[in-house]
Amino acid sequence: MAFCKGDIHLVNFNPAKGGEIGKLRPAIIMSNSDDNAILETCIVIPLSTVIVEDALPYRYTISKRDALHQNSDACINEIRAFSKTRIKEKIASLSPTELEVIQKSLCKLLL
């Protein structure tokens, strides 16, 4: 299965520890397609159906679409690298504008 930056897939976040996000949930693929083709891991940002208003750069709301059945927050501060074996079917994709907002927010968190 090919993983593309900006696609939303179901990802198994278990086992979770402490305050980490857990369970099978949607997540955005953030690593680029070239890296995804050669590495055994992908970088992802989990989604949550708990919406927090005006929470940039930590969270950004993604509206429901395709097989993403509920509006969800991208939990940008919860970014992780996971084995591709944890990544399941694709359910949706971000628009270029949404991907840009998330990337800029991530940069703000890391600076």
Question: In whole angstroms, what is the distance from residue 79 CA to residue 59 CA?
Answer: 11
**What's the confidence (pLDDT) of residue 19?**
79
| Percent over 70 (pLDDT), the chain | 100
Mean pLDDT, to the nearest integer, of 74-81? Answer: 96
| Average confidence (pLDDT) over 72-98 | 97
Mean pLDDT of 78-90: 95
pTM over 0.85: yes
When pLDDT is cut at 50, 70 and 90, the band that residue 15 belongs to is: confident
Specify the 3-state DSSP secondary structure of 52. Answer: coil
Which fold would CATH assign to domain 7-110?
Answer: SH3 type barrels. (2.30.30)
Task: State how beta strands 41-48 and 59-62 pair.
Answer: unpaired
DSSP letter for each residue of 66-97: TTB-S-EEEEGGG-EEEEGGGEEEEEEE--HH
Decide: 64 and 48 in contact? Cβ < 8 Å.
no
